[in-house]
C-alpha cells in the first residue's frame, strides 16, 4: 500500500544492496564455473585450455575425495548431534528456577564469541598438547598414557573444539524457543495427569521442533565451511581434511585452480541443497 512515488523511491533505495549482492554472487560464481572447465595452473603454465568435465571427474575420483567427504560428514554430523542433544538439555536446565541465572547464561554463551583461531589454538596447545596440555596432566594424574589428540584422534578433537564453539548457539536458540512456550499448555498437561517425561516428549519436544530444525540448518551451513579450526590445528593432516579444506589446498597450496574450482562448484551445490530447506522455513515465517 503506497504511492507510485514511494514505490519508485523504494526501488531506488533497494538498488545499492541488490546490485552489490548480485555482483558479489554472480561474478565469482561465473568465474568459478569458467575455471572449472579449464586446465588452469597459475604457476605451471597458466591457462592450458578447455577440458570439459575433466576437473569434475578428477575431483571426485581423486584418492582424497571420499576421505574428505567422510571427514566432512563426521564433523558436521558429530557437531550437530552433540550441540543439539546437549543444547536441548542445557536449555531445559537453564529454564529452571535458580540463583544467578543471568550469570550462568553468560558463562554458557561466552565460547560463541571467541575468535575461531583463538579457540582452536587454545584447545590445541593448552588442552590437547600431549606433553604440556591439561588433558595430558589429567591423564598422567590417573596413571594413563597421554593421548596424541590431534594426530591419533584428530576428527574427534576437531568435533570437540567445534562443538564447544557452537553449543552456545544451539543452547541460546533452544532456550529462547522454550521460553516462548506458553506455560499454560504445560499446566494444562499437568492437570491432565501427564508426568514430566511425558510432558517433555509430547509438549516441549514438538514445540522445539522448529527451533531444532533451524539450528540444524544454520549450523550445517556454517559447519560445511569451517576452516580456521582445521587450518591452525592439523592443517588438514591426519584424516581431518574436509571438503572445504581440500578445495582450499587444491586452489592455494597446489595452485590447481581448475580442479579446485570444480570442487567449489560441488560445494556450492551441496550448500544450496541445505539452503533450500532453510529458505522454506524462513520463508514460511515471513508470511506470519
Partner 1 sequence: MARAVTTNRKVINTAFAWGIGLLIFFPILWTILTSFKTEATAIADPPVFLFFDWTLENYQVVQERSNYARFLWNSVIIAGGSTVLGIIIAIPAAWSMAFVPSRRTKDILLWMLSTKMLPAVGVLYPIYLIFIELGLLDTRIGLVIVLMLINLPIIVWMLYTYFREIPGEILEASRMDGASLRDEILYVLTPMAVPGIASTLLLNFILAWNEAFWTLNLTAAKAAPLTAFIASYSSPEGLFYAKLSAASTMAIAPILILGWFSQKQLVRGLTFGAVK
Partner 2 sequence: MGQIKLEKVTKSFGDVEVIPPLDLTIGEGEFTVFVGPSGCGKSTLLRLIAGLEDISSGQITIDGQDATNVPPAKRRLAMVFQSYALYPHMSVRKNIAFPLRMAKLDQAEQDKRVEQAASVLNLTDYLDRRPGQLSGGQRQRVAIGRAIVREPAAFLFDEPLSNLDAALRVGMRLEISELHKRLATTMIYVTHDQVEAMTMADKIVVLRAGHIEQVGSPLELYRTPRNLFVAGFIGSPKMNHIDGAEAAKHSAKTIGVRPEHIDVVDGEGVWQGTVGVAEHLGSDTFFHIHGTGIAETLTVRATGEVDFRHGDRIGLVPRADQIHRFDDQGLRMP
What's the distance, CA 220 to chain centroid?
4
How many residues of this chain interact with partner 1, rule: CB under 8 A? 109
Contact region with partner 1 (CB under 8 A), list: 46-54, 55-63, 197-205, 262-270 = 262-270
5 vs 131, beta carbon nearer partner 2? 5
Q: How far is the CB of 249 from partner 1 (least distance, A)?
A: 10
> Which of 94/158 has CB closer to partner 1?
94
Indicate whether 4 belongs to the interface with partner 2 (CB under 8 A). yes
User: Scanning the structure block, which residue is given the C-alpha cell 598422567?
Assistant: 140
Selection from partner 1, partner 2, none that 205 binds (CB < 5 to 8 A by kind) is none
Could you give the string, one character per residue 66-85, with x where binding to partner 2 holds by CB under 8 A and - elsewhere?
--------------------
If one asks whether residue 12 binds partner 2 (CB under 8 A), the answer comes out as: no
- Give every CB contact of residue 71 below 8 A, 6+ residues apart in sequence: 155, 239, 240, 241, 242, 243
The yes or no reply on residue 191 touching partner 1 (CB under 8 A) is no
Which range touches partner 1 (CB under 8 A), out of 45-53, 59-67, 90-98, 191-199?
90-98
Q: What is 141-175 written as a DSSP string?
A: HTTPPPP-HHHHSHHHHHHHHHHHHHHHHHHHHHH
Residue with cell 517425561: 197
Instruction: Note whether 181 and 88 are within 8 A (CB).
Output: no
Position 143 contacts partner 1 (CB under 8 A): no
Would you count residue 144 as binding partner 1 (CB under 8 A)?
A: no
Residue 15 or 77: which CB sits closer to partner 1?
15
**Min dist. Cβ of residue 197 to partner 1 (A):** 17
To the nearest whole angstrom, how small is the minimum distance from the Cβ of residue 159 to partner 1?
Answer: 15
Q: Does 3 interact with partner 2 (rule: CB under 8 A)?
A: yes
**Cell for 245?**
579444506
Q: DSSP per residue over 66-93, as a string?
A: HHHHHHHHHHHHHHHHHHHHHHHHHHHH
Give yes or no for residue 159 binding partner 1 (CB under 8 A).
no
Residue 65 CA to residue 251 CA, distance in Å, equals 15
Interaction of residue 183 with partner 2, rule CB under 8 A:
no
Residue among 41, 43, 35, 88 nearest 216 (CA): 88
- CA 119 remoteness from chain centre: 15
The verdict on 131 binding partner 2 (CB under 8 A) reads no
Site for partner 1 in 194-213 (CB under 8 A): 210-211
Binding flag, residue 60, partner 1 (CB under 8 A): no
CA dist 139 and 14 (Å) reads 59
Query: Cβ distance 262 to 55 under 8 Å?
Result: yes
Given the complex with partner 2, which of 6 and 254 has the nearer CB atom? Answer: 6
Binding site for partner 2 (CB under 8 A): 1-5
Amino acid at each position: 500500500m503506497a504511492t507510485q512515488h514511494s514505490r519508485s523511491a523504494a526501488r531506488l533505495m533497494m538498488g545499492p544492496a541488490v546490485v552489490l549482492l548480485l555482483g558479489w554472487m554472480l561474478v565469482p560464481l561465473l568465474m568459478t564455473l569458467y575455471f572449472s572447465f579449464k586446465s588452469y595452473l597459475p604457476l605451471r603454465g597458466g591457462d592450458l585450455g578447455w577440458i570439459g568435465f575433466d576437473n569434475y571427474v578428477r575431483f571426485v575420483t581423486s584418492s582424497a575425495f571420499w576421505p574428505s567427504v567422510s571427514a566432512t560428514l563426521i564433523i558436521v554430523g558429530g557437531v550437530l548431534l552433540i550441540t543439539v542433544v546437549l543444547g536441548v538439555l542445557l536449555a531445559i536446565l537453564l529454564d529452571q528456577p535458580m540463583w544467578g541465572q543471568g550469570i550462568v547464561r553468560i558463562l554458557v554463551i561466552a565460547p560463541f564469541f571467541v575468535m575461531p583461531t583463538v579457540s582452536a589454538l587454545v584447545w590445541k596447545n593448552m588442552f590437547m598438547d600431549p606433553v604440556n596440555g591439561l588433558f595430558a596432566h589429567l591423564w598422567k594424574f590417573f596413571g594413563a598414557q597421554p593421548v596424541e589428540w590431534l594426530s591419533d584422534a584428530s576428527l574427534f578433537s576437531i568435533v570437540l573444539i567445534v562443538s564447544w564453539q557452537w553449543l552456545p548457539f544451539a543452547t541460546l536458540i533452544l532456550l529462547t524457543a522454550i521460553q516462548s512456550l506458553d506455560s499454560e499448555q504445560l499446566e494444562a498437561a499437568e492437570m491432565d495427569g501427564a508426568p514430566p517425561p511425558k510432558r517433555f516428549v509430547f509438549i516441549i519436544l514438538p514445540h522445539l521442533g522448529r527451533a531444532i530444525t533451524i539450528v540444524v540448518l544454520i549450523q550445517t551451513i556454517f559447519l560445511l565451511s569451517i576452516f580456521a579450526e582445521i587450518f591452525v590445528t592439523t592443517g588438514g593432516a591426519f584424516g581431518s581434511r574436509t571438503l572445504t579444506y581440500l578445495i582450499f589446498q587444491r586452489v592455494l597450496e597446489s595452485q590447481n585452480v581448475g580442479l579446485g574450482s570444480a570442487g567449489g562448484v560441488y560445494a556450492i551445490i551441496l550448500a544450496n541443497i541445505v539452503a533450500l530447506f532453510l529458505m522454506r522455513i524462513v520463508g514460511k515465517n515471513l508470511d506470519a
